[in-house]
């Protein structure tokens, strides 16, 4: 599509847009959303969305005369709505349709919900801005034309004037609520180490100016996501120190550590690098300069919008970096038979462990005699997990780690359970979470319950009650009891006794994802002691 032509975009989203999003000059937008501002409706810029299923024609008929969309863009934030809006008839549109897949890296059942909602809507294209490492799940589920576009695509271009004297030593701008466990812990650690770190709140536009006025800008992802703060800091020319992400996230593919930005993987490494760059400001300035130049040359929002338009409007092939062709989990999909039930079983396990990953540091995980190679591949994008997979008792005897999480495949015969648990006995005293994967009969479940109870592990339920996927066990602590191990995970379960069953947020009777959080029978919060 010609860059000089005005592109008309009809966007369906939960929210009417804020001022910190990027809209190209040649783009005209109308928003169909929940409870849009009255003045936006009167100006012909917004349309109110209904709840539940509705024909997309209902929205199209309300468009201003002479305005017809070149693109229909749908945000998965609609899933957050009670009785979520589900447009019907999207595949029949004469213009392209695209769904943005958001927040697959936290909240209960996030990836499964996105897949189910996307299939109900039926867009032609699907893209994600911050969770490139989940593309393989969406492709395996059968969503068409899945790609990643770096989150810089949504940032309004802005480069403040440079300053000679830096006002701040270290700053962080972003949410520090209870969902962002790592951020809170890192900031607390830095304060205790007497680092002068400023993490007060600021309006978005002020943040960009403050990044330039700071010697070090700290970033910490929520849960392995390549968030927009990475791009914001590099765009304005700040020195960025961010958490080290998995290769599949895309961060190491876009920017080189020590050249365009700096990374940390632990509290101590964070502290060491802060001290180093505070005492070597010229080195920090050179990294900031190179990061800014690379961003402006390759990842400026206008450049990414052009690449996006080439894919969606011109039908050009999705570049390999955006379709994650470097991720063998994507390329191997086309070399094997897809079993959708197997995918959903893996997702249930992955989503549980993804939450464990969100709330912990450096988790040692043992998969003993595990046969599910796809699951191991799934977990490889959660860098805080140190995964050990062994197939024999001899290999197990040679390991020296204390494993906080242990996973096994349930044996076919009940009689084999006792032998399996006996082999694991040296590891069980340090285990806080035990998962047994596979279909379990009531007899097999009772036997495993008995064997693990003697080791201090008791049955528990998490997001989904599904004994066909896995059995879960947690360590039961007496008050003030601690493990003899130097490392441990504490499982603190928040109980919702008035809620009995998990509800799928896509059911019309459900309250969406926010209600889903309340519907948890248990939610997991594991912390290192």
- The 3-class SS string of 316-340 reads CCCCCCCCCCCCHHHHHHHHCCCCH
Q: Is residue 26 part of a domain?
A: yes
Query: Two tokens at 380?
Result: 């490889």
Name the residue among 353, 168, 174, 188 with its Cα closest to residue 267: 188
Q: Which of 198-207, 239-248, 290-299, 455-464 shows the lowest per-residue confidence on average (mean pLDDT)?
A: 455-464
Largest interatomic CA distance in the chain:
75
Residue 521 clears pLDDT 50, i.e. is over it? no
Inter-helix orientation angle 267-279/181-192, to 10°: 50
Task: Work out the pLDDT band at 70, boundaries 50, 70, 90.
Answer: very high
The continuous run of DSSP H or E covering 448 comes out as helix 442-453
- Other C-beta atoms lying within 10 Å of the C-beta of residue 361: 16
> CA dist 314 to 5, 41, 306, 310, Å?
14, 32, 10, 5
Task: Work out the pLDDT band at 56, boundaries 50, 70, 90.
Answer: very high
Q: Is residue 2 part of a domain?
A: no
489 neighbors 522 (Cβ within 8 angstroms): no
Q: Is there a single domain that holds both residue 67 and residue 50?
A: yes
Q: Is there a single domain that holds both residue 324 and residue 256?
A: no
| CATH label of the domain that carries residue 228 | 3.40.50.2000
Query: Two tokens at 30?
Result: 């109308």
Averaged over 164-175, what is the pLDDT?
Answer: 94
Q: Is residue 160 part of a domain?
A: no
Residue 181 clears pLDDT 90, i.e. is over it? no
Which long-range CB contacts under 8 A does 423-427 form with residues at least 24 apart?
A: 423/368, 423/393, 423/396, 424/368, 424/396, 425/455, 426/396, 426/397, 427/366, 427/396, 427/399, 427/402, 427/403
Residue 68 clears pLDDT 70, i.e. is over it? yes
pLDDT the model gives residue 190:
97
Residue 132 clears pLDDT 60, i.e. is over it? yes
The answer for residues whose C-beta is within 8 angstroms of residue 521's C-beta and 6 or more apart is: 461, 462, 463, 465, 495, 496, 499, 500, 501, 502
Q: Is there a single domain that holds both residue 311 and residue 427?
A: no
Residue 246 clears pLDDT 80, i.e. is over it? yes
Q: Is residue 71 part of a domain?
A: yes
Chain segment 106-131, per-residue pLDDT in tens:
988 999 999 999 999 999 999 999 99
Task: Give me the DSSP letters along 487-521.
Answer: --EEE-PPP-TT--S---TTSTTS-HHHHHHHT-S
Q: Is there a single domain that holds both residue 211 and residue 229?
A: yes
Residue % of the chain over a pLDDT of 90: 74
Whose tokens are 């096994």? That residue is 408
pLDDT the model gives residue 464:
53
Whose tokens are 């009417």? That residue is 16
Q: Is there a single domain that holds both residue 257 and residue 311?
A: no
Q: Is there a single domain that holds both residue 148 and residue 199?
A: no
What range does the domain containing 11 cover? 7-155+303-329
409 neighbors 371 (Cβ within 8 angstroms): yes
Q: Is there a single domain that holds both residue 350 and residue 485?
A: yes
The answer for residues whose C-beta is within 8 angstroms of residue 32's C-beta and 6 or more apart is: 10, 11, 12, 13, 46, 47, 48, 49, 59
Task: Report phi then psi at 291, rounded to 5.
Answer: -65, -40
Q: Is there a single domain that holds both residue 412 and residue 467?
A: yes
The CA distance from 100 to 312, in Å, is 13
Inter-helix orientation angle 204-212/228-236, to 10°: 50
Q: Is there a single domain that holds both residue 223 and residue 349?
A: no
Averaged over 420-433, what is the pLDDT?
Answer: 92
The answer for residues whose C-beta is within 8 angstroms of residue 328's C-beta and 6 or more apart is: 377
156 neighbors 20 (Cβ within 8 angstroms): yes
CB-count burial class (<10 Å; 0-12, 13-18, 19+) for 373: exposed
Name the residue among 401, 451, 392 with its Cα closest to residue 421: 451
The CA distance from 474 to 491, in Å, is 7
The CA distance from 359 to 105, in Å, is 12
pLDDT the model gives residue 401:
85
Q: Is residue 162 part of a domain?
A: no
Whose tokens are 């180490």? That residue is 193
pTM: 0.90
Higher pLDDT, 228 or 4: 228
Q: Is residue 334 part of a domain?
A: no
The continuous run of DSSP H or E covering 407 comes out as strand 405-409
Q: Is the dihedral of CA 320, 323, 328, 334 positive or negative?
A: negative
Q: Is residue 449 part of a domain?
A: yes
Q: Is there a single domain that holds both residue 92 and residue 173?
A: no
CB-count burial class (<10 Å; 0-12, 13-18, 19+) for 155: buried
- What three-state secondary structure class fits 468? coil
| CATH label of the domain that carries residue 470 | 3.40.50
Task: Work out the pLDDT band at 497, boundaries 50, 70, 90.
Answer: very low
Query: Two tokens at 510?
Result: 């459900």
pLDDT the model gives residue 20:
62
b or e along 292-331 (b: 16 or more beta carbons within 10 Å of the residue's beta carbon)? bebbeeebbbebbbebbbebbbeeeebeeebbbeebebbe
Averaged over 49-65, what is the pLDDT?
Answer: 97
Residue 381 clears pLDDT 80, i.e. is over it? yes
Averaged over 413-425, what is the pLDDT?
Answer: 93
Chain segment 440-486, per-residue pLDDT in tens:
889 999 999 999 999 999 998 765 555 568 899 998 765 554 444 43
260 neighbors 287 (Cβ within 8 angstroms): yes
Residue 60 clears pLDDT 80, i.e. is over it? yes
pLDDT the model gives residue 159:
86
Q: How far is CA 208 from the centre of its chain?
A: 24
The CA distance from 410 to 396, in Å, is 18
Higher pLDDT, 518 or 151: 151
406 neighbors 427 (Cβ within 8 angstroms): yes
Q: Is residue 146 part of a domain?
A: yes
Averaged over 231-255, what is the pLDDT?
Answer: 98
Query: Two tokens at 110?
Result: 């996030």
Q: Helix, strand, coil proportions of the chain in percent (round to 5)?
A: 35, 20, 45
Q: Domains in the chain: how many in total?
A: 3
> CA dist 179 to 175, 204, 222, Å?
9, 20, 8
**Termini Cα distance of the chain:** 56
Q: Is there a single domain that holds both residue 288 and residue 311?
A: no
Q: Is there a single domain that holds both residue 99 and residue 218?
A: no
């Amino acid at each position: 599509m010609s860059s000089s032509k005005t592109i008309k975009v009809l966007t369906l989203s939960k929210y009417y847009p804020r001022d910190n999003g990027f809209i190209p000059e040649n783009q005209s937008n109308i928003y169909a959303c929940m409870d849009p501002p009255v003045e936006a409706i009167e100006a012909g810029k917004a349309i109110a969305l209904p709840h539940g299923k509705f024909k997309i024609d209902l929205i199209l008929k309300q468009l201003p005369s002479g305005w017809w969309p070149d693109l229909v863009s749908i945000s998965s934030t609609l899933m957050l709505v009670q009785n979520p809006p589900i447009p019907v008839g999207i595949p029949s549109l004469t213009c392209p349709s695209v769904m943005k897949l958001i927040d697959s890296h936290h909240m209960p059942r996030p990836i499964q919900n996105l897949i189910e909602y996307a299939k109900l809507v039926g867009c032609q294209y699907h893209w994600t801005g911050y969770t490139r490492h989940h593309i393989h799940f969406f492709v395996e589920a059968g969503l068409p034309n899945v790609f990643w576009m770096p989150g810089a695509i949504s940032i309004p271009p802005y480069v403040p004037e440079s300053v000679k004297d830096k006002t701040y030593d270290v700053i962080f701008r972003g949410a520090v609520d209870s969902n962002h466990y790592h951020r809170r812990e890192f900031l607390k650690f830095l304060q205790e180490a007497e680092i002068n770190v400023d993490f007060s709140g600021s309006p978005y536009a002020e943040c960009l100016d403050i990044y330039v006025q700071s010697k070090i800008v700290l970033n910490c992802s929520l849960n392995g996501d390549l968030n927009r703060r990475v791009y914001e800091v590099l765009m304005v020319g700040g020195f960025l120190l961010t958490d080290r992400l998995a290769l599949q996230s895309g961060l190491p593919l876009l920017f080189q550590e020590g050249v365009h930005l700096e990374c940390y993987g632990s509290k101590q490494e964070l502290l060491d690098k802060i001290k180093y760059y505070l005492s070597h400001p010229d080195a920090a300035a050179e990294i900031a300069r190179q990061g800014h130049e690379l961003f402006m040359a390759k990842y400026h929002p206008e450049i990414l919008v052009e690449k996006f338009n080439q894919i969606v409007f011109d039908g050009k092939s999705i570049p390999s970096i955006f379709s994650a062709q470097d991720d063998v989990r994507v390329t191997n999909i086309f070399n094997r038979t897809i079993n959708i039930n197997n995918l959903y079983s893996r997702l249930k396990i992955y989503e549980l462990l993804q939450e464990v990953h969100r709330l912990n540091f450096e988790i040692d995980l043992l998969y003993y005699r595990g046969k599910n190679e796809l699951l191991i591949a799934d977990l490889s994008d959660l860098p805080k997990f140190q995964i050990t997979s062994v197939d024999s008792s001899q290999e197990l005897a040679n390991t020296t780690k204390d494993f906080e999480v242990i996973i096994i495949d349930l044996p076919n015969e009940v009689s084999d359970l006792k032998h399996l648990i006996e082999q694991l006995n040296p590891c069980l005293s340090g285990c806080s979470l035990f998962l047994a994967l596979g279909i379990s009969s009531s007899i097999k479940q009772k036997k495993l319950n008995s064997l693990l109870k003697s080791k201090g592990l008791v049955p528990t339920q998490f997001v989904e009650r599904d004994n066909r996927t896995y059995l879960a066990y947690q360590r039961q602590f007496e008050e003030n009891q601690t493990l003899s191990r130097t490392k441990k995970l504490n499982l603190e379960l928040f109980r919702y006794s008035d809620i009995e069953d998990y509800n799928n947020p896509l059911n019309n009777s459900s309250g969406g994802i926010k209600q889903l959080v309340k519907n948890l029978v248990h939610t997991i919060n594991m912390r290192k002691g």
